[in-house]
């Protein structure tokens, strides 16, 4: 007979324990252990002699190689993030804050694929079919080959998949789907793990490109066990402030493409619109002739993006000054302030320093260091930077400016947007010819960059 066993599972990382613990021993999260029941069925042991593999091992040189076929959508930004399009049989996980636009993005993608003649099955566990139809009316996503179902039972979903035989499947969301054979509540660690494993088998065996929508925790990570991200082929995060109109789609895992690409969208009344030139969007509200404001050329995958950096340095009344950064690593900001103090003689120990990337973009490459240093120095000296300068370069601990990659693409993007000067590492000038009509200033130290930018 089946025996019901009780265990406690961490909702953050999936660590199992026989008793309840206030602090998870795996991820050290507090009050994350939840009780779950599982049914244990005693079966006779199976020896190794009865195990037969369906496929035999073969030499890697005898395996046929080739590019994976891809299904291109009409959304070029989504194709860029996925590495060229949707791969048949792939399992994609999309996460994001509530109300950020995940369902809107996937419904528009489903419509784009259905227009190309593919069968698309959109299964929603959070909205009724009427609610989905209302969103489709607003987005203009009405196509005969787009099928919609409101269901959370795994068995009913299997019947729908067998009936429709879709080429593209959307599950919104994985936390609402449950398997009746698993004795735990929907959204629990066991349910999410088993349902994801089932959809992975469906994707691989039937060759159906499957997209799972995942809820996120208050820290911004996808809810459920960490195993969930290991099982899928691609993990996408849909980011952005709810009060802003633009959204950023970022890949943090991709077995069929790069993880450095981003897609930028703008939310409108008729859905998400692609932003083909994000630099103009991020610089549209930039003030001119203001201290602490600089423009940096950053690389997001293969795309150069020009973003505004803003710094504010103000005298503090407290013994310990504040250091706050948005869009840039806090430790990197502290390193740049230390270099300015030690190598350039700026007394910032009595100053609060705030650094912000305008537009809510997150910059994590070292080429942003020099622009951040110039912004902080500009605000500290109250000396405005020139409005048509672009600055990029990596800053070392001795105050030197190191070379960065793809300098030519950054300069061409600055020239295209009408900038007049580029302050960049001197060692990055080798091997290419700067375009005409833009002045290039090569610097080797932070002091030289401050002299060129602030005079």
Phi, psi of 251 (to 5 degrees): -95, 125
Nearest CA to 174 out of 121, 104, 223, 133 is that of 223
96 is in an annotated binding site: yes
Q: Partners of 37 in the beta sheet?
A: 6
pLDDT in tens, 262-320: 888 988 888 999 988 888 878 878 888 899 999 999 998 788 999 999 999 999 988 89
**Calpha distance 279→305 (Å, rounded):** 5
Is 68 a residue whose pLDDT tops 90?
no
321 and 307 Cβ atoms separated by less than 8 Å: no
**Calpha distance 191→273 (Å, rounded):** 35
pLDDT in tens, 324-353: 999 999 999 999 999 999 999 999 999 999
41 burial level (CB within 10 Å; 0-12, 13-18, 19+): exposed
Could you tell me what percent of the chain has a pLDDT over 90? 57
191 and 182 Cβ atoms separated by less than 8 Å: yes
101 is in an annotated binding site: yes
Q: Taking residues 363-371, what's their average pLDDT?
A: 93
Q: Is the dihedral of CA 133, 139, 140, 142 positive or negative?
A: negative
With a CB cutoff of 8 Å and minimum separation 6, the contacts of 6 are: 35, 36, 37
- The reported pLDDT for the residue numbered 225 is 63
Nearest 10 degrees: CA dihedral of 452, 376, 381, 451? -10
- The reported pLDDT for the residue numbered 69 is 82
Total-model pTM: 0.75
- Mean pLDDT rounded to a whole number for the chain: 88
Nearest CA to 389 out of 321, 313, 318, 449 is that of 449
- The reported pLDDT for the residue numbered 49 is 40
Task: Give the model's confidence band at 218: pLDDT under 50 very low, under 70 low, under 90 confident, else very high.
Answer: low
251 and 257 Cβ atoms separated by less than 8 Å: yes
Task: Give the model's confidence band at 223: pLDDT under 50 very low, under 70 low, under 90 confident, else very high.
Answer: low
378 is in an annotated binding site: no
pLDDT: which is higher, 347 or 184: 347
pLDDT in tens, 24-64: 888 888 888 888 776 544 444 433 343 344 668 888 888 87
Nearest CA to 167 out of 87, 82, 108 is that of 87
103 is in an annotated binding site: yes
């Amino acid at each position: 007979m089946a025996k019901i066993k009780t265990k406690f599972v961490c909702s953050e990382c999936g660590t199992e324990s026989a008793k309840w613990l206030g602090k998870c021993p795996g991820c050290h999260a507090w009050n994350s252990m939840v009780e779950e029941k599982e049914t244990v069925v005693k079966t006779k042991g199976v020896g190794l002699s009865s195990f037969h593999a369906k496929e035999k091992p073969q030499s890697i040189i005898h395996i046929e190689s080739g590019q994976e076929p891809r299904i291109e959508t009409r959304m070029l930004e989504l194709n860029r993030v996925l590495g060229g399009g949707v791969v048949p049989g792939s399992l994609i996980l999309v996460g994001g804050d509530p109300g950020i636009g995940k369902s809107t993005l996937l419904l528009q993608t489903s419509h784009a694929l259905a227009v190309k003649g593919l069968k698309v099955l959109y299964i929603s566990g959070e909205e009724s079919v009427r609610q989905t139809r209302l969103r489709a009316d607003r987005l203009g996503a009405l196509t005969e080959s787009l099928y919609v179902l409101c269901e959370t039972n795994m068995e009913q979903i299997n019947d729908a998949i067998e009936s429709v035989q879709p080429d593209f499947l959307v599950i919104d969301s994985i936390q609402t789907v449950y398997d009746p054979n698993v004795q735990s509540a929907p959204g629990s660690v066991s349910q999410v793990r088993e349902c994801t494993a089932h959809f992975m088998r469906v994707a691989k065996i039937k060759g159906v490109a499957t997209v799972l929508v995942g809820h996120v925790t208050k820290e911004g990570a996808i809810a459920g066990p960490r195993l969930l991200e290991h099982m899928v082929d691609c993990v996408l995060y849909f980011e952005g402030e709810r009060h802003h109109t633009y959204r950023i789609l970022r890949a943090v895992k991709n077995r069929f493409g790069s993880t450095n690409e981003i897609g930028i969208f703008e939310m409108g009344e008729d859905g998400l619109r692609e932003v083909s030139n994000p630099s103009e969007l991020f610089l549209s509200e930039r003030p001119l002739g203001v201290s602490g404001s600089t423009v940096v050329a950053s690389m997001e995958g293969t795309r150069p993006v020009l973003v505004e950096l803003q710094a504010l340095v103000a005298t503090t009344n407290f013994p310990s000054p504040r250091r706050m950064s948005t869009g840039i690593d806090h430790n990197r900001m502290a390193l740049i302030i230390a270099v300015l103090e030690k190598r350039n003689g700026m007394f910032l120990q009595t100053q609060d320093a705030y650094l912000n990337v305008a537009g809510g973009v997150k910059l994590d490459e070292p080429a942003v260091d020099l622009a951040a240093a110039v912004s902080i120095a500009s605000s500290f000296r109250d000396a405005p930077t020139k409005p048509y300068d672009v600055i990029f370069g990596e800053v070392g601990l001795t105050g030197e400016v190191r070379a960065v990659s793809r300098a030519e693409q950054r300069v061409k993007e600055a020239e295209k947007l009408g900038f007049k000067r580029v302050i960049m590492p001197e060692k990055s000038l080798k091997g290419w010819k700067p375009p005409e009509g833009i002045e290039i200033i090569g610097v080797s130290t932070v002091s030289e960059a401050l002299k060129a930018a602030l005079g």
